Amino acid sequence: MQESLANRVIAITGAASGIGRACAQELARAGSRVVLVDVNGDGLATLSSELGPGVEALAVSASVRSESDMKRMADEAVARFGRIDGLVACAGILRRGQTLKTVGDTSLEDWDAIIEINLTGTFLSNRAVLPAMLAQKQGDIINMSSTSGRQGRPFDGPYCASKFGIIGLSEALAEEVGRHGIRVQTVLPDAVETPLWSQNGPAALKPPQTIPPERVAQLVCYMLALPRDTYLLNPVIAPCKTRKKRGGADST
């Protein structure tokens, strides 16, 4: 049986859009108290208003690239709710700008921006919530990787490196804090219908089949609600590849 998510305090980075936004909405529906974290303050305000008056939500405008911002996020969450039961680290970018670049054409500025948001941001947000979770002797961290964290893709070298890194970071952290009652898991989404695809620009590399971010959010909630003696190891969530009809009938 799954544990209830009601009244659990869950922080979500990248909450203003995409998978982070869907996770915040799904957790709020499950009765969780949510800490909405994003550099986009206007997006957080819109999300907070949409969640409705019955949801306990704290909006924190902060950058995952900033060590001080992530500490402030954790401090504000503890000050408001007294604890932090979970973190869902969703903040990330696909690329800087809309120009597709090979690794050979990637500037150090492009590399640093993607690594700092995706990988360093995951590290800083994870580290920020650990003191509260260690004091409680319990907590959940779910870090958002990607199928690009298992197999590299052309024109996305920095993104792939960051997502590979998230898996390694998460597995190392899980070994360190598991004995303290803290569970660390990762999710590896394939193609998801989010604004991230707009970064492909006119090349329009968006795949023909995607899944809505709500499907990823439902998996995240399932993982957070698993019994304490159970975890999922790097689950992949992907769109079903439907087959074309042949001879007027669906093939199976």
Res 206: pLDDT: 64
Verify whether residue 222 is a known catalytic residue: no
Q: Is residue 147 part of a domain?
A: yes
Q: Is residue 129 part of a domain?
A: yes
Query: How many independent structural domains does the chain possess?
Result: 1
Q: Is residue 138 part of a domain?
A: yes
What CATH number does the domain containing 190 carry? Answer: 3.40.50.720
What's the whole-model pTM score?
Answer: 0.91
Q: Is the pLDDT of residue 174 over 90?
A: yes
Burial of 21 (C-beta count, 10 Å sphere; 0-12/13-18/19+): buried
Res 205: pLDDT: 61
Both tokens assigned to 188: 């590896």
Per annotation, catalytic residue among 159, 192, 196, 213 = 159
- The percent of residues in the chain predicted with pLDDT above 90, rounded, is 80
Q: Is residue 247 part of a domain?
A: no
Residue 157's domain spans which residues? 9-237
Q: Is residue 249 part of a domain?
A: no
Question: How far apart are alpha carbons 62 and 38 in whole angstroms?
Answer: 5
Window from 9-23, 139-153, 207-221 with minimum mean pLDDT: 207-221
